[in-house]
């Protein structure tokens, strides 16, 4: 899967504080230096994604040329103009006054970020890259590995988006929370490279189709919700979700996911008031707005992946498709991380605070995010 995060970059540049952006060092075995960089991209004050880049010297760099052939490039030749022209996917840094810079080595990206961190810090940028898995103590955690950083204009919409292929079955669909919370839980899978298996495996990933913002008295809202769930074989009938998927099939569709990593915003209504405040409103002495906090109200920290859209090009023009593998064949390739595995945790945990930044109106794009 790939990510595309747009928002303000925040790198902790005080080396005495927790979360310092630079975690460079020397490898234990080869005694070679490495550079490891981590910073966050905040799409809102209560939502941010932590991105990273790790690089060290290698004898050769394995990559792909413009014709799709696998090639190896000698380390000392990686910066030559002729070599750069032969590589299909270059890593791009384009957030400084010097303009676009292209690289093929992660070490060069990490060092570039390190050298220009004060230009990057608090700047609005778009960061792109690959979503990789870190398997630790029975859990599979996402790592957002940088491929590119681009300066973003003020009018570009903020967001933490992930795209990629998603696999699911009829049993993946959980509608237990639909009646109360207007949410569909989809317990599906993504295909990931698992280092310990030296192979691609299916790893569980839970998506949420969130209709809590949908006005079910608004025909357009209902049509939008129904159209989206129809892409994965579901239908909204008389306020309930009908599952039209076949029990023995495995389905696949490219999805667009909104990554939520922060404190959930809580809507302010009369349930937040004390009895005394409610009495004041009943007597006509006050209104609800008189008690509304100046800033937004945030609850507990959450990490969620909300299903917002689909890529309906090519084979997926009519929605999800059935894969060739049988259900039994598919299930044999599901990977469950073992508790004893330890590949090291590298992601810093974010903190969130209450504040009063801009409200965002709900439009079609925001309705399910």
| 42 in a structural domain | yes
pLDDT digits (tens, 9 = 90+) for 117-132: 999 999 999 999 999 9
Residue 358, strand partner residues: none
Phi/psi of residue 40, nearest 5 degrees: -115, 155
pLDDT digits (tens, 9 = 90+) for 215-267: 999 999 999 999 999 999 999 998 899 999 999 999 999 999 999 998 766 67
Residue 250 has which token pair? 């495995």
**218 and 297 housed in the same domain:** yes
244, with CB counted inside 10 A (0-12, 13-18, 19+), is: exposed
Phi/psi of residue 266, nearest 5 degrees: -105, 130
Sign of the dihedral defined by the CA atoms of residues 359, 365, 368, 369, in that order: negative
Which pTM does this prediction carry? 0.84
Pinpoint the alpha helices (H) of the chain. Answer: 81-86, 106-115, 117-120, 178-181, 219-230, 275-282, 288-291, 327-332
Residue 69 has which token pair? 């052939």
**100 and 46 housed in the same domain:** yes
**282 and 135 housed in the same domain:** no
**191 and 288 housed in the same domain:** yes
**125 and 150 housed in the same domain:** yes
Identify the three-state secondary structure at position 83: helix
**121 and 36 housed in the same domain:** yes
Residues 6+ apart with CB under 8 A from 231: 253, 310, 312, 319, 320
Residue 7 has which token pair? 């928002």
**239 and 283 housed in the same domain:** yes
Question: Over its length of 369 residues, how does the chain's per-residue pLDDT go in tens digits?
Answer: 999 999 999 999 999 999 999 999 998 888 888 999 999 999 998 899 999 999 999 999 999 999 999 999 999 999 998 999 999 989 999 999 999 999 999 999 999 999 999 999 999 999 999 999 998 888 889 999 999 999 999 999 999 999 999 999 999 999 999 999 999 999 999 999 999 999 999 999 999 999 999 999 999 999 999 999 999 999 999 889 999 999 999 999 999 999 999 876 667 778 888 999 999 999 999 898 888 887 666 667 889 999 999 999 999 999 999 999 999 999 999 999 887 544 444 334 333 333 333 333 446 667 776
Among 155, 172, 206, the domain-final residue is: 155
**14 and 132 housed in the same domain:** yes
In DSSP notation, 164-187 reads EEEEE-GGGEE-TTHHHH-EEEEE
Structural domain containing residue 305: 164-332
**235 and 326 housed in the same domain:** yes
Rg (CA), the chain: 23
């Amino acid at each position: 899967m790939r990510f595309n995060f747009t928002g303000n970059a925040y790198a902790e540049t005080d080396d005495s504080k927790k979360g310092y952006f630079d975690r460079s060092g020397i490898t234990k075995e080869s005694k070679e230096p490495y550079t490891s960089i981590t910073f966050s991209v905040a799409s809102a004050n209560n939502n941010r994604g932590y991105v990273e880049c790790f690089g060290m010297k290698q004898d050769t760099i394995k990559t792909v040329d413009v014709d799709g052939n696998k090639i190896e490039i000698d380390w000392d030749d990686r910066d030559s103009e002729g070599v750069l022209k032969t590589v299909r996917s270059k890593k791009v840094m384009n957030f400084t006054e010097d303009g676009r810079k292209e690289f093929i080595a992660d070490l060069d990206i990490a060092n570039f970020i390190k050298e220009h961190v004060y230009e990057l810090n608090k700047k609005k940028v778009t960061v792109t890259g690959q979503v990789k898995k870190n398997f630790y103590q029975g859990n599979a955690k996402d790592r957002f590995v940088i491929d590119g950083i681009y300066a973003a204009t003020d009018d570009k919409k903020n967001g933490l988006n992930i795209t990629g292929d998603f696999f699911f079955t009829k049993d993946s669909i959980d509608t237990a929370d639909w009646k109360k919370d207007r949410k569909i839980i989809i317990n599906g899978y993504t295909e990931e490279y698992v280092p310990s298996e030296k192979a691609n495996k299916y790893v569980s990933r839970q998506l949420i189709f969130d209709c809590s913002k949908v006005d079910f008295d608004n025909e357009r809202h209902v049509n939008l919700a129904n159209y989206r769930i129809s892409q994965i074989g579901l239908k909204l009938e008389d306020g309930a979700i009908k599952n039209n998927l076949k029990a023995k099939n495995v389905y696949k569709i490219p999805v667009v996911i909104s990554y939520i990593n922060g404190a959930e915003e809580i809507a302010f209504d009369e349930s937040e008031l004390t009895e005394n405040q409610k009495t004041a409103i009943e007597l006509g002495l006050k209104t609800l707005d008189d008690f509304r906090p100046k800033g937004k109200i945030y609850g507990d920290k959450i990490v969620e992946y909300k299903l917002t859209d689909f890529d309906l090009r090519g084979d997926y023009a009519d929605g999800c498709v059935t894969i060739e593998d049988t259900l039994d064949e598919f299930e044999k390739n599901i990977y469950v991380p073992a508790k004893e595995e330890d590949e090291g945790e590298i992601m810093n945990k974010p903190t969130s605070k209450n504040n009063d930044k801009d409200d965002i109106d709900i439009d079609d794009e925001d309705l399910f995010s």
